[in-house]
A and B are shown apart, each in its own frame.
Chain A
């Protein structure tokens, strides 16, 4: 069990990094990565939401969709759960933990349309739905958490590099997004060094 969790952690964070090998969550990755601070804020918000969304969607799938034979409606069900969850977290944080709300608040609404969250939930469903309910719940939550950690790692590294690229002087048509994409490609190349690794 412990070994399984270690393997899951390494593969979710490094080997199958959400951004660099699965291309999930590229929009916020390119949109909110101009400064390392905001990138870290976005990363924390994603960790928070993705872990809770994995738990909630696993429960919805196993206890609502499967008993009623409605598995084919999973896309609608999951996106509604995520949207409601994000709204709920926002309201809860504003009342209960205002300091955290001030730090994460502006990123929360953006997360509803972050394909990393929906992607993680759907991958969880595909990978773990054959397991026993308790086990699939634990693995889904862990996968959600570690995948989000991988996302945060990627976005913070990228923001650090990008802050330096700002001062470089690329050809005019490369200014802004194109040079950022090329930079992302080079970082992805570094990450692909992990991709041959098999553990276990």
Chain B
């Protein structure tokens, strides 16, 4: 059995294999809901919860699920957890339910969750899978927070609802509209690419 490496798994989830910035998974829901920080936190928490639960169950069942129908089995497991999370949000956080709308049930087809099930949970033990779910979920949430912070500051002049600038500030509405979402995400991915390149160049320099 492979030795668990907590630090590496978390670094992978947050930076080197960040589901949004590097693997480009789960873009649809991400672009749609990152108009404010509160949305981002809600969506990140919901997706992380589903990811941890589905990773755990899939990794426990990995020896019983036949290979040919594995994708269908994963989708059923994931949609079960998504329904549970959706009902919980409807019951306890109705305002979050209104602002996320159709994107809560759409966590089912968030490619990030299916990709982790296929790439990690189906090959590793339950403990490693739960940690992987947590690391990837945290990476996803951080990515959502970064994008929504940029969009909220530019587009509304607030951060988590608190005004940042004086009354004369004219917000760039475009940043919270769909075109701004695409452009800001493109620029942030370029920035992360640059960051990873710099770190790698530095490590090479140290070794050589």
Contact = CB atoms under 8 A, between A and B. Distances in A.
B189 to A, nearest CB: 5
A153 to B, nearest CB: 16
Interface stretch (A20-28, A42-50, A53-61, A130-138): A20-28
B109 A26 contact: no
B11 interface: no
Contacts of B197: 172-173
Nearest to A21: B178
Nearest to B90: A72
B170 interface: no
Given A30-B27, A75-B82, A79-B108, A174 B179 contact: no
B156 interface: no
Interface string B15-47: 000000000110111011000000000000000
A122 B183 CA distance: 28
Nearest to B101: A126
A173 B198 CA distance: 11
Interface stretch (B71-79, B123-131, B158-166, B200-208): B71-79
Interface string A106-120: 000000111100110
A114 B76 CA distance: 16
Among the interface residues A72, A119, A186, which one has the most CB atoms of the partner chain B within 10 A?
A119
B193 A115 contact: no
Interface residues of B, dominant DSSP: helix
B80 A76 contact: yes
Given A27-B111, A113-B109, A178 B79 contact: no
A27 B28 contact: yes
Nearest to A189: B179
Interface residues of B, number: 42
Nearest to B26: A27
A22 B101 CA distance: 12
A179 B111 CA distance: 22
Contacts of A114: 109
Contacts of B80: 76
Interface string A159-200: 000000000000111100111111011101100100000000
B79 to A, nearest CB: 4
B65 interface: no
A118 B193 contact: no
A74 interface: yes
Given A20-B179, A75-B83, 4 more contacts: A20-B178, A76-B80, A112-B71, A177-B186
Q: Which 10 A-B pairs have the closest CB atoms?
A: A181-B186, A185-B182, A185-B183, A23-B32, A189-B179, A178-B190, A188-B179, A182-B186, A173-B193, A173-B194
12 contacts: A21-B178, A30-B27, A75-B86, A112-B71, A119-B106, A173-B193, A174-B193, A185-B180, A185-B186, A188-B178, A188-B182, A192-B179
